[in-house]
Amino acid sequence: MKFKINRKFFLEKLNIVSRAISVFSPLPALSGICIQVSNDLITLTGSDSNISIRSSFLASKENQLVIESTGSIIIESKYILEIIRKMDSELVTVDLIDFSKVCISNLNGQFNLNGIQFNEYPNIDFSVPNTKIQLKSEDLKLIYSQTAFACSDKDTRPVLNGVNFKANGNTLCCSGTDSYRLARKQIELNDSYDFNITIPNKSLSEVVKSLSDANDFVDLFIDSKKVQFVFDHTIIQSRLIDGTFPDIDRIIPTTEISHMLVSSHELAGVIDRTNFIRNEKIHLIKLECTESETHIKTSSSEIGNSDEILSSCQYSGENIRLSCNGTYMLEAIRALNCNRVKLEFAGLMKPIKISNPDDCSVLMIVVPVRSYD
């Protein structure tokens, strides 16, 4: 195996596949990047067995690839990345100099790395699932930024560690929840679909990080076990999370007793300022709303207390006093990323709806907390 390639191009591809690699991999081969060189194609693979990334490329003017001989090898990801990143030549040569040693060289120097033979790499099934759906990269990024933050990071209910993608007819409904809050983003599709899958939060994050501005669209291939995201000769494949995702439509209140329109900037600022007051590590805020004045208060016997008035707030409906997790509220407002937010209240212990009054495709829910003062 021997080839010459543009260093920056090679580094970019190595970086993409290395995202799948975990430093804690129990299998030594999985801490490496698998390089397969055929007559005209190079394929790089990285995997932690839950998520696998494969990138393939032919010779092109951009990558200046010249393949001299074929072969395969696994190289420790962190070492090859560091060398290729730090070398300063335009081209590098990669050469398998015996069964498991790779020589990376340019005019001034050479780096010999101990590799692992290709036959120790696990067999990863990259077969393509049947259901294909195309999304704009923009939409996929929005789905991620507006839902993934609400996923659970605890191990108690694995299905809550992912974002649920549910297609019903022409609507794709993506939701994240940790059972105390919920974030939902809806996208209109060109065709009619019917699936209900939950994609691990971490996998979605790697997909979004790997998307460059040049990728306008992403193809998703879905079956009941896995999903593939395909763009720019790169396949990011993730297992799905088993289990039934909660029926979120039942959680969303359908009636209201009052609502509030307020500047997102002001509301986020007021909540953020109370963040230092925590009760047993929880950032608890109290909303006291009347049509004449809305207060946000906090208090902790140890640290102190605060009381701030929302000056831009328009509130109408019944007076309400309730407590909720300020961090959840703040993350929801920031994920909405709009000028004004609407808060709808359905009652004292009923979920609070938080939304953008000018965009009904996104909805946030935060459940109030019982407070005893």
Separation CA 158–CA 181 (nearest Å): 16
Separation CA 227–CA 240 (nearest Å): 7
Instruction: Based on the shown chain and the rule CB under 8 A, indicate whether residue 302 belongs to the binding site for a second copy.
Output: yes
**Number of residues located near a second copy, criterion CB under 8 A:** 31
Instruction: Based on the shown chain and the rule CB under 8 A, indicate whether residue 334 belongs to the binding site for a second copy.
Output: no
- The DSSP output letter for 240 is P
Nearer to a second copy, 157 or 297 (CB): 297
Are 73 and 45 within 8 A, CB to CB? no
**How far from the centroid of its chain's Cα atoms is residue 84's Cα?**
27
Residue with tokens 């790697």: 206
Nearer to a second copy, 305 or 314 (CB): 305
Query: Which of 20-28, 59-67, 101-109, 165-173 is the region at the interface with a second copy (rule: CB under 8 A)?
Result: 101-109
Question: Residues 138, 216, 307, 318: which binds a second copy (CB under 8 A)?
Answer: 307
Instruction: Based on the shown chain and the rule CB under 8 A, indicate whether residue 350 belongs to the binding site for a second copy.
Output: no
Please, how many CA atoms are within 13 Å of residue 354, restricted to the half-sphere of its CB?
A: 28
- Is residue 318 helix, strand or coil? coil
Instruction: Based on the shown chain and the rule CB under 8 A, indicate whether residue 275 belongs to the binding site for a second copy.
Output: yes
Residue with tokens 């309730």: 322
Instruction: Based on the shown chain and the rule CB under 8 A, indicate whether residue 108 belongs to the binding site for a second copy.
Output: yes
Question: Residues 1, 5, 16, 76: which binds a second copy (CB under 8 A)?
Answer: 76
- The region that residue 223 occupies, defined by phi over 0 for left and psi between -120 and 50 for alpha, beta otherwise, is beta
Instruction: Based on the shown chain and the rule CB under 8 A, indicate whether residue 269 belongs to the binding site for a second copy.
Output: yes
Separation CA 287–CA 227 (nearest Å): 42
Instruction: Based on the shown chain and the rule CB under 8 A, indicate whether residue 276 belongs to the binding site for a second copy.
Output: yes
Contact mark string toward a second copy, 280..299, x via CB under 8 A: --------------------
**Phi, psi angle pair for 108, to nearest 5°:** -90, -25
- Is residue 275 helix, strand or coil? coil
Nearer to a second copy, 107 or 214 (CB): 107
Question: Residues 157, 273, 340, 350: which binds a second copy (CB under 8 A)?
Answer: 273
Query: Which of 54-62, 168-176, 222-230, 266-274 is the region at the interface with a second copy (rule: CB under 8 A)?
Result: 266-274
**Phi, psi angle pair for 161, to nearest 5°:** -85, 5
Separation CA 302–CA 49 (nearest Å): 47
Question: Residues 23, 88, 130, 244: which binds a second copy (CB under 8 A)?
Answer: 88
Rounded to a whole number of angstroms, the minimum distance from the CB of residue 193 to a second copy is 45
Rg of the Cα atoms in the chain: 25
Instruction: Based on the shown chain and the rule CB under 8 A, indicate whether residue 180 belongs to the binding site for a second copy.
Output: no
Q: Which residues bind a second copy (CB under 8 A)?
A: 76, 78-79, 82-83, 86-88, 101, 108-114, 269-270, 272-273, 275-276, 302-309, 311
